[in-house]
């Protein structure tokens, strides 16, 4: 099976949620889903192949309009998922996580990938189609890589993008942030993607502001760089922030991703 969306499976509820999210995207871009499970012993492969096949068959019984494949491999979860993705020339990976407690593990998987972005999920999409995406900008030009993936999703979904930006006390940081904002506006204008610019109400705690805006704007997805993810998520403290974090799929993009070079989802 080629050009799949891959979904790492550990047979927990969050990996089932990842399958649901994958389905909502796969049916739009008309591509198959491949479920991937990694074992650490060869004698476990046959048993897990049958278990994974049963999971795929059950899911397909109510999602019959897409193709679903399965792969079980012996190996290291961080390295082997990457190898499978390369073999499949995968578009995208969608992975269930257990929140802050698995932050380091999730980032270790995500950062192995150059061409492929991850969507990290903790809850069911409940059939909700992707429409509203929040992109928090800052003064780092590497955050522009987010826009490549927004361009891709804009070809398949009727998006409304929210560009959130902070105001710093440092003029040079503000200048660089403004450049990133102008770049984002130009990309979205060229792609005919609807967007709104949102100024952060507070910048001394930008992670809290990001998740406050997700809730306020009723955003369906947050798009961040993997390098920012590890700085944003641990700073969420309140029950409301953590609940919003749990309910929000996060598109996690590595700085080196370049869809124009690699071909993206075309």
Q: What is the pLDDT of residues 126-167, one digit of tens each?
A: 988 899 999 999 998 888 888 988 998 999 999 999 999 998
How many separate domains does the chain show? 2
Whole-angstrom distance, CA of residue 69 vs CA of residue 4: 9
The answer to whether residues 23 and 112 belong to one domain is: yes
The answer to whether residues 92 and 142 belong to one domain is: no
The answer to whether residues 136 and 245 belong to one domain is: yes
Domain hosting residue 24, numbered range: 5-121
- Which of 72, 89, 121 delimits the end of a domain? 121
Which pLDDT score is estimated for 175?
95
pLDDT at 1 > cutoff 60: no
Average pLDDT, the chain: 90
The per-residue pLDDT for range 24-79, each reduced to its tens digit, is: 999 999 999 999 999 999 999 999 999 999 999 999 999 999 999 999 999 988 88
The answer to whether residues 184 and 136 belong to one domain is: yes
- Which of 80, 101, 121 delimits the end of a domain? 121
- Which of 76, 97, 121 delimits the end of a domain? 121
> Cα 216–218–221 angle (5° rounding)?
120
The per-residue pLDDT for range 193-232, each reduced to its tens digit, is: 999 999 998 778 899 999 999 999 999 999 998 888 888 9
The answer to whether residues 35 and 77 belong to one domain is: yes
Helices (H), 111-235: 145-154, 171-190, 206-217, 226-232
Q: Is 117 helix (H, G, I), strand (E, B) or coil?
A: strand
The per-residue pLDDT for range 165-194, each reduced to its tens digit, is: 998 888 999 999 999 999 999 999 999 999
Residue 199's CATH number: 3.40.50.620
Which pLDDT score is estimated for 245?
94
The answer to whether residues 174 and 217 belong to one domain is: yes
The answer to whether residues 108 and 25 belong to one domain is: yes
The answer to whether residues 106 and 150 belong to one domain is: no
Q: Is residue 30 part of a domain?
A: yes
């Amino acid at each position: 099976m080629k050009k799949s969306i891959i979904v790492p499976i550990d047979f927990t509820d969050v990996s089932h949620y990842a399958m649901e999210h994958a389905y909502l995207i796969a049916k739009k871009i008309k591509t198959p889903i491949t479920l991937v499970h990694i074992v650490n012993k060869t004698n476990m492969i046959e048993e897990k192949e049958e278990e994974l096949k049963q999971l795929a068959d059950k899911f397909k019984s109510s999602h019959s309009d897409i193709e679903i494949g399965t792969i079980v491999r012996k190996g290291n979860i961080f390295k082997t998922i990457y190898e499978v993705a390369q073999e499949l020339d995968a578009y995208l990976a969608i992975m269930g996580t257990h929140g802050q407690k698995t932050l380091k593990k999730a980032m270790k998987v995500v950062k192995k990938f150059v061409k492929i972005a991850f969507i990290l999920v903790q809850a069911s999409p409940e059939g909700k189609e992707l429409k509203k995406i929040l992109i928090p900008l800052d003064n780092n030009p590497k955050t522009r890589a987010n826009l490549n993936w927004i361009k891709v999703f804009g070809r398949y979904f009727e998006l409304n993008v929210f560009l959130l930006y902070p105001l710093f006390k440092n003029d040079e940081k503000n200048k660089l942030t403004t450049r990133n904002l102008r770049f984002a506006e130009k990309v979205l204008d060229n792609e005919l993607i609807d967007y709104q610019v949102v100024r952060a109400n507070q910048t001394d705690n930008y992670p809290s502001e990001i998740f406050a805006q997700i809730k306020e704007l009723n955003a369906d997805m947050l798009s961040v760089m993997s390098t920012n993810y590890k700085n944003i998520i641990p700073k969420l403290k309140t029950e409301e922030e953590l609940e919003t974090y749990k309910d929000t799929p996060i598109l996690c993009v590595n700085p080196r991703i370049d869809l124009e070079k690699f071909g993206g989802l075309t």
